[in-house]
Amino acid sequence: MSQNLTLKSKNLRRNFEREKRKKTILKSALYLFSKKGFYNTKMEEIADRALISKGLLYFYFDSKEKILEEIMNSIYKDFLPKLQNILKLNLSPLEKLKKFIKFEFDFYKKNKKFVKLIYEIFQEEVYFLKRKFPFFREIHLKEKEILEKIIEEGIKNGIFKKIEPEFGCFLLSSIFHYVFLKGVVLKNYNKIVEIFLKGILKDEKDR
């Protein structure tokens, strides 16, 4: 009985150490990816940063792509369910749009290094993420679909102008792209809402 408990305790400790080391690897990789770029980071640099041997790193991950995939899985774990919940809320399309923008803004604030990395990879090789990681393409399409539904609902209710929902998605994505990639400092998401809804035209009273 005592031997079984001792063995179980050792296994738990071993698993805990493995998970701890794995998290250290992911944290080290994300730091280097965001600082040097994904393509410029070498596996040995990740090992050095994580204070482990290169051989041990390959025991956990056999490539940078696998490390990036694990980072993406952990960060995007609850992304879609939370975004989809916005559609179910009993709110006006305008309030849903604000919720959508706030969600994206908060996600960026929480995961700045990761979001900047994703945008930089897109700039270097636009199809890399979608080709290597099909689930990322699915997230991107669902995200676009949710925003289009909000815009369509707003047009139907006479709240938004009659524009192509896809064009509206493109405009908002462009704003996100600039803010997130350039690291523009915004105190809150309301500035994005204002720019998207009103454009760059001043109110008549301010002209």
163 lies in a domain? yes
- Which whole number is the average pLDDT over 14-26? 89
24 and 117 share one domain: no
Listed in sequence order, the residues at least 6 apart from 135 whose beta carbon sits closer than 8 Å to its beta carbon are: 72, 73, 76
102 and 155 share one domain: yes
- Token representation of residue 157: 């209710």
What is the distance between the alpha carbons of residues 52 and 63, in angstroms, rounded to a whole number? 16
pLDDT of amino acid 206: 57
pTM score of the predicted model: 0.80
pLDDT of amino acid 8: 64
138 lies in a domain? yes
68 lies in a domain? no
* pLDDT tens readout for residues 24-61: 999 999 999 989 989 899 999 999 999 999 999 999 99
Number of domains in the chain: 2
* pLDDT tens readout for residues 103-133: 998 998 888 888 888 878 877 776 677 777 8
* Residue found by looking up tokens 């500035």 in the block: 191
30 and 109 share one domain: no
Q: Which of 137, 85, 75 is nearest to 107 (CA)?
A: 75
Q: Assess whether pLDDT exceeds 50 at residue 65.
A: yes
70 lies in a domain? no
162 and 191 share one domain: yes
pLDDT of amino acid 207: 47
- Among 50-54, 66-70, 142-146, 158-162, the range scoring the smallest mean pLDDT is 158-162
71 lies in a domain? no
CATH code assigned at 128:
1.10.357.10
- Which whole number is the average pLDDT over 92-106? 93
- Asked if residues 105 and 192 have their Cβ atoms less than 8 Å apart, the reply is yes
- Token representation of residue 155: 């047009």
179 lies in a domain? yes
- Token representation of residue 31: 């730091």
28 and 53 share one domain: yes
Domain with 146, as residue range(s), is 76-206
Residues in the chain: 207
